[in-house]
Structure 1
Amino acid sequence: MISWRKHYKKVLLAISLLLTTSASIYAQDLKGDAKKGETLFKTNCSACHALDKQVVGPALGGVVDRLKKEQNLGVDWFQKWIKDNKALRASGDKYANEVFEKFKKVEMTQFPSLSDQDVADILEYTTNPPKVEPAAEDAANSPEAQKAAQEEKNQSRIILIALFSIAGLLLWVLFKLSQLVKLQRKSGEISELDATRIHSLGEFYNKYQTLGKTVMAALAIMALYGIWNWLMWVGVYKGYQPEQPIYFSHKIHAGENKIDCQLCHSSAKYGKVSEIPSVNVCMNCHKGIAEYKGKYIEEGKTRDFYTAEIKKIYEAAGWDEASQSYTGKTKPIEWVRIHNMPDFVYFNHAQHVVAGEQTIIKAKKVDVVCKACHGEVNEMDKLQMANNFTMGWCIECHRTTEVDMTNEYNKEYYQKLHDKLKKQYGGDTKMTVDAIGGLECGKCHY
């Protein structure tokens, strides 16, 4: 018993060393999956880290080998750091505290929910990232694409040669005809024919006065109709698609990445105007997204093109990528307004979005209400005005949009009106917006 008490501290120390060594070996033996790691990295890490450069945190490409070489730290250290870096710093770990101080004491998010295998997958991705699929623009440089381009070029040449040949033949025919006319004039046959023809517009009008007056009257009516039709379309700009100071693709943001409209246009639901987002809204995402790596690329564009547009946002915000800080030298972005109602029309976004979400369109989301006016914005690379926004267009929408009578509020509030309409027009009558005041002049003009 005395002997055991004498050596129990050494035994406990040996056991703890054995367990620590086993844990370390176990961690190092875990085989990571780079593809799974890529998904985990993009979900958990990409907001603050990139493989090839510093963002909020350091570049993580080859970080395992780098720390092994520089600090003699293994995978077990990464397991502790990623899951609970705060506890690791509190334990007195030297390098953990050095990193914390180096990055201005910005505390890294803890990920206790990640398993050892998840961490191993992420580290494998940072060590051996999967090869990037060839970009869409690179396909244009492939042998097949070059061959097709050459064939198309040859076909164009053949068509041009054929057109020039036809043009030459026509010129030759005209030349021969002119020679023939000269011969006929010399013989006197054409002079006799000219005597029976009308040689001026005045002669034609005197000969066909009735027809002439009829034609003039028709032309006057058509001219008046054209002027009237032109006046009716003043201020109607369907298809208007101006150039913007920064190229912004709604298809990439709202379509490919499925970003909700109201994340950027936050006042659309609760304000009269759906404001243009300020540059700080852009920086909420692009502070950590410095280059475009998406799969979708618009025809005629490249990833470098989109990345260059992101740099314009940095210039406007006064963001320095190298130091990851704001310089204070900002520059306004002069966006060109596309949708604008006339001054004599009152339009409230909140009224339409809230009504559309809760009372008008059954079981559909807000973005459906947005699309009703703005069109399929999520499919537009370059935003344009999708509808006419005339008074007739608005009235037609109110006459055809059905009120959701399964909504408890609507069912109670409009029940008597609905029953009255059924008696007047039949049992299949549906409640539309015009029936609840959607055609009142004072709603839009006051």
Structure 2
Amino acid sequence: MNKITNLAKVNTLFRVSLFCISFLFFQLNSYSQDGKKIFKANCAACHSVGSNKVVGPGLEGISEKYSEEWLLKWTKNSTELIASGDADAIAAFEKGLMIPMPPQEHLSDGELKAVYNYIASPENYSEGEMEIVEEVSGSFDSVEGGKKLFKINCASCHSVGSNKVIGPGLEGVNGKYSREWLGKWIKNSGELIASGDADAVAIFNEFKKSIMPPQAVSSEDINAILAYIANPGNDDSADGGKEEGVVTVIEEDNSTMKYLFIGVIILLLILVITLNKTGVFVREVIAKEAGETYDGTTTLYGGFKNLMSDNKGIVAVIVIVLFFGGLLNLVDGAFQIGVHTGYKPEQPIKFSHKIHAGDNKIDCNYCHSSARHSRTSGIPSLNVCMNCHKAIDGSNGKTFMYNGQQYSMTEEIQKIYDYLDYDKETQIYGDNPTPVKWIKVHNLPDHVYYSHQQHVVAGKQKCQTCHGPVEEMDVVEQYSQLTMKWCIECHKETAVATAGNGYYDEMHKRMTPEFKEKVFKDGVLTVDEIGGWECAKCHY
């Protein structure tokens, strides 16, 4: 009977292991498929996984050419990497006709790594799914066909409205240029510029001598695209999409893979059930030959239950590991509650700190003047803005980078005038100003007391200590964690600015020799050594 029992255990264990391994296999396969889906949803409008160029270069061999760390930085924000002086980034920028790649900061590191895996081994994916560019081919003479072609070939750089993405908005382009001219421009703008065409040269000069990449589309395709531009309807692309810089492409039909996956799962279930019935039959035969009656379980559930019952020690260990593992994960998650590092909301006016504090060297205190004599740094009134922007009205037509996209200075400065009800022609303020609803970036809990004055004046701390390199940010984001642990560590490591402060001279006189020897043993007096860790310092 022991022989029968051991055989039953091995058989049941085999079935359970087979099921678990199969499940893990399909989970991994599903994860690898995600790389292809993410690529098609975010990258395929401009790139192929081969060597051929679409709008941007083909990405074949990209993983061998650059490190994964570099690729993550480039993909998430190429403009930031270029600005840092990275040689590879600058070379790629110049090779790409000085056109920055739209940032993909909405994608996680895991999603981007899945994309890189797909680019490295596209042959591991189903036939016919490698090139999204091939999904829409042939001739289109309808607005709907033009819409599909536009989203694949044009939407990464243009909108069908008036707003600029990387290239200009295309609203009214059919009325401004002839169909013949547009066909030549779209197919090869460089050739048209070289021919001396006045319109082509004017556009080339207007956009800082950046050449639009040639488009491999037929005349019929161009007709369809132009028909869609002329009649976009209520499509989001008329306004550059709901999210600028995020390209929408056609979702592939995954029904075949879905049905195949379901079919394989059903086959595995049939296999497991068959194995169970076979095992029961074998055990009954062995029992019969031994002159015994088999009275064990005959169901898959019963076999699994017996396996758990016969291995209580192993089960207990697994349960304990899962419990404490889940508890640890819960605790780690709790530490992240209220931590908003990287938070950078879209503001009603696209104000670039990089231009103001970085390029133009405007001191932080000029706008945030209350930081030196108040708890809060304060939100500057638009009257402060008008000190400069009464003269600098954006009429020069310049653009600026904001969150990886180019925007018109004229439009953003006009927003200031609109909020103030100011007429820049007459230089007269109206009677209907409206407040700007700025979105707060740095938030502390209500029970925390923090004084800018104490840190900036007495502590002589720079804004960057807490806010990070604001002068390099076009969009201000929460740079530091601003957690209790973060504050405590700062108080432990930061030396007190005692020089020229008579308060500390008096404090040192009152210190006992023993305490003075203790705190000055390392030659540095830190914040925690003068009470910076006392609860009442920061909490009401």
2:401 to 297, 300, 322: 297
Q: Could you tell me which residue of structure 2 aligns to residue 255 of structure 1?
A: 358
1:225 to 322, 328, 352: 328
Change (3 A) 1:262 1:293: farther
1:238 aligns with 2:336: no
1:199 to 278, 296, 300: 300
Change (3 A) 1:189 1:240: closer
Q: Could you tell me which residue of structure 2 aligns to residue 4 of structure 1?
A: none
Separation in structure 1 between the aligned mates of residue 467 and residue 305 of structure 2, nearest angstrom: 55
Q: 1:267 aligns to what SS in structure 2?
A: helix
Q: CA deviation at 1:439?
A: 1.5
Q: CA deviation at 1:232?
A: 3.3
Q: Deviations over 1:253-302 (max 9, x none)?
A: 11111111111111011111111112222222222221176686347433
Separation in structure 2 between the aligned mates of residue 194 and residue 396 of structure 1, nearest angstrom: 64
Q: Could you tell me which residue of structure 1 aligns to residue 69 of structure 2?
A: none
Normalization by structure 1: what TM-score? 0.53
Q: Could you tell me which residue of structure 1 aligns to residue 487 of structure 2?
A: 394
Separation in structure 2 between the aligned mates of residue 285 and residue 318 of structure 1, nearest angstrom: 17
| 8 Å Cα contact 1:373/1:387 also seen in 2 | yes
| 8 Å Cα contact 2:459/2:497 also seen in 1 | no
Q: CA deviation at 1:247?
A: 1.4
Separation in structure 1 between the aligned mates of residue 347 and residue 468 of structure 2, nearest angstrom: 19
Q: 2:376 aligns to what SS in structure 1?
A: coil
- In the alignment of these two chains, the number of paired residues is 282
Q: Could you tell me which residue of structure 1 aligns to residue 211 of structure 2?
A: 142
Letter in 1 for 2:538: C
Q: How does 1:356-371 map to 2 (within 5 A)?
A: 356-357=459-460, 369-371=462-464
1:321 aligns with 2:437: no
Q: CA deviation at 1:307?
A: 2.3
Q: 1:297 aligns to what SS in structure 2?
A: strand
| 8 Å Cα contact 2:350/2:412 also seen in 1 | yes
| 8 Å Cα contact 1:250/1:379 also seen in 2 | yes
Q: Could you tell me which residue of structure 1 aligns to residue 534 of structure 2?
A: 440
| 8 Å Cα contact 1:265/1:275 also seen in 2 | yes
Separation in structure 1 between the aligned mates of residue 333 and residue 351 of structure 2, nearest angstrom: 32
1:272 to 348, 361, 375: 375
Separation in structure 1 between the aligned mates of residue 512 and residue 500 of structure 2, nearest angstrom: 13
| Percent pairwise identity | 37
Q: 1:302 aligns to what SS in structure 2?
A: strand
Q: CA deviation at 1:225?
A: 2.8
Separation in structure 1 between the aligned mates of residue 468 and residue 362 of structure 2, nearest angstrom: 16
Separation in structure 2 between the aligned mates of residue 210 and residue 303 of structure 1, nearest angstrom: 65
Q: Deviations over 1:115-146 (max 9, x none)?
A: xxxxxxxxxxxxxxxxxx967x645x416xx2
2:470 to 377, 382, 391: 377
Change (3 A) 1:257 1:193: farther
- Give the CA RMSD over aligned residues: 4.3
Change (3 A) 1:192 1:252: same
Q: 1:339 aligns to what SS in structure 2?
A: coil
Q: Deviations over 1:401-426 (max 9, x none)?
A: 11245546377335454965563477
Deviates more, 1:428-437 or 1:416-425: 416-425
| 8 Å Cα contact 2:403/2:475 also seen in 1 | no
Q: How does 1:158-197 map to 2 (within 5 A)?
A: 192=278
1:403 aligns with 2:496: yes
Change (3 A) 1:266 1:405: closer
Letter in 1 for 2:405: K
Separation in structure 2 between the aligned mates of residue 344 and residue 301 of structure 1, nearest angstrom: 38
Q: Deviations over 1:342-370 (max 9, x none)?
A: 1111111111110133xxxxxxxxxx521
Separation in structure 2 between the aligned mates of residue 289 and residue 432 of structure 1, nearest angstrom: 46
Higher helix share: 1
Q: 2:329 aligns to what SS in structure 1?
A: helix
Say which one has the larger Rg.
1
Structure 2: which 5+ residue stretches go unaligned?
A: 1-203, 217-251, 284-297
Normalization by structure 2: what TM-score? 0.44
Deviates more, 1:234-243 or 1:308-317: 234-243
Q: 1:268 aligns to what SS in structure 2?
A: helix
Q: Could you tell me which residue of structure 2 aligns to residue 114 of structure 1?
A: none
Separation in structure 1 between the aligned mates of residue 205 and residue 358 of structure 2, nearest angstrom: 22
| 8 Å Cα contact 2:496/2:527 also seen in 1 | yes
| 8 Å Cα contact 1:198/1:204 also seen in 2 | no
Separation in structure 2 between the aligned mates of residue 403 and residue 280 of structure 1, nearest angstrom: 36
Q: Could you tell me which residue of structure 1 aligns to residue 438 of structure 2?
A: 335
Separation in structure 1 between the aligned mates of residue 377 and residue 313 of structure 2, nearest angstrom: 60
